[in-house]
Amino acid sequence: MPAPSLPTARVIQVDTRGAIILEEESPETRDSRGIYFPNHIEPVSHVAVDVGGSLAKVVYFTRSPEPPASPSIAATRGSSSTPEPFTPRSNSPSAELPTSSSPSSSNIRHNGALTPLVLDSQNYAEGFTLSTEMLRDTMLRRTSQHFPGGSLNFERFETDNIHECVEFIQSLIERSAKVNDVSIEDMRKSVKIMATGGGAHKFYELFRDTLCVEVRREDEMECLIEGLKFITLIPDEAYYFSDELIQSVSHPLPSASAQPSLLPPTGSNGILERPLERPGPNPPKFAVTFESNPTFQLPCLLVNIGSGVSIIKVDEDGQFERVSGTSLGGGTLWGLLSLLTPATSFDEMLKLSEQGDNATVDMLVGDIYGQDYSKLGLKSTMIASSFGKVFKKGKGKGTFSPEDISKSLLYAVSNNIGQIAYMNAEKYNLERIYFGGCFIRGHAATITTLSYAIRFWSKGTKRALFLRHEGFLGSIGAWIKNIGPESS
């Protein structure tokens, strides 16, 4: 009697009750912390890969004999300042997990193992056909040695080194076969690569032939929206810079006992009575507010900042459309800073910018007028021309420090994206603006610039929202879309 075929992939129903974002291991991984699902029991053996022009992002679900490291409980909520570099943290009291020693600071972590979707060996050999319920019970018995729940894990690799991504997934499959005591052949039959992004097509054969697994290609925009819908349901995932501090900066309270309202004061026409200061090189640092009881609210605008920028309008019914974008994105910043500074990675470039002074590179309003231009509401410290001082006679490239160049270019790109995002939100009358993509990286100057630009141009009526896993929306969406066989 021929052996029964392995079960086809199903839509994953993730039990997000009690979901907790785990503690970071280093500043370099602050946007790729795992998410622990204490109540999820369904076996998952597929790996999602979102391969963009600059980075490849990997998402996979594992169980392990040991619980993950305890979540961070260090609070920034309610703080009047933002740490440098900014790392979004929550003080949610739900963190009661046992602690364990953190792994090394290596960027590549090996957390647990995939759970193979193979039939019980005895039933498989005897040719039994299992019902869905029987299969589920069998899988629960096979994984009974593991602790309840599991972790959604996140990794990223430079696309130029895509072979490192493939090698990581290969080692994950081999380790999972060993941990679950199944053959490598059965493990490969269970694993599927859910690929999205441009690299899903460019590197399709590489993944399929090297890993010897099924590779399914998913639409990039669909995955972004599915990822956004899922991740915004995780407590303390979405956050924003609070209006309370905007209030205190723009409208000082007459007495310490007075309580600020959520939004700055507005007149009968809804316009701010006293406008916020225009975006500039030193916007105010806001307190961080997390959405601890999240609900995905539509409609919204998603501004996905990768190598370039895509701006996607999501309607109330979940329908979406790419309505705008710009070629000046993370790849622009990375590319130009590679030419202009000695930094060799994006994180090094961000670190340089934290130590820089853009006023040595940018031409400011004060450089032109010698003072504020009050009639137009322009302070002397406002940027009149990005890199405007570079062309001046008698100055060469060596005159400007890598730190100052990095800060100037970061502001130029961020301010441009912020204004384009606002104009699209205004055009389509959308109040919620989510920013995603690996360009942000939880970086203080970037978040502050985008946040303040949206608040300023909208006169306090719109808000920039950020995500702690901002760079993984596409891969999260591909992971959720564990669908059945591809249609022809």
Residue with tokens 């109040």: 431
Residue 408 confidence (pLDDT): 93
Mean pLDDT calculated for residue range 252-274? 38
Dihedrals φ, ψ of 153, to 5°? -110, 150
Residue 405 confidence (pLDDT): 94
Position 336 pLDDT exceeds 90: yes
Calculate what percentage of the chain has a pLDDT beyond 90: 35
Retrieve residue 225's tokens.
């929206």
pLDDT in tens, 120-157: 333 333 333 434 454 444 444 444 444 567 889 999 99
287: left (phi over 0), alpha (psi -120 to 50) or beta: beta
Split at pLDDT 50, 70, 90, the class of 435 is very high
Split at pLDDT 50, 70, 90, the class of 169 is very high
Position 207 pLDDT exceeds 90: yes
Higher pLDDT, 211 or 132: 211
* Three-class secondary structure of residue 373 per DSSP: strand
Q: Is the peptide bond before 43 cis (omega within 30 degrees of 0)?
A: no
Position 174 pLDDT exceeds 90: yes
Position 335 pLDDT exceeds 80: yes
Per-chain mean pLDDT for the chain: 74
User: If you write DSSP's letter for every residue of 82-145 in order, what string do you get?
Assistant: --SS-------TT--PPP-----S-S----SBPPP----HHHHHHTPPPPHHHHHHHHHHHTTT
Position 97 pLDDT exceeds 90: no
Position 187 pLDDT exceeds 70: yes
Split at pLDDT 50, 70, 90, the class of 476 is very high
Residue with tokens 């959720």: 480
Higher pLDDT, 222 or 448: 222
pLDDT in tens, 349-405: 888 988 999 999 999 988 899 888 877 777 888 888 999 998 876 666 568 999 999
Residue 34 confidence (pLDDT): 87
Residue 85 confidence (pLDDT): 34
Residue 143 confidence (pLDDT): 45
Residue 281 confidence (pLDDT): 47
Q: Is the peptide bond before 85 cis (omega within 30 degrees of 0)?
A: yes
Mean pLDDT calculated for residue range 263-275? 41
- Please tell me the pTM assigned to this model: 0.74
For 315-461, strand residue ranges (E) read 320-326, 363-364, 383-385, 432-436
In the chain the domains, ranked by start, together with CATH numbers, are: 1-68+147-237+472-487 (3.30.420.510), 238-246+276-467 (3.30.420.40)
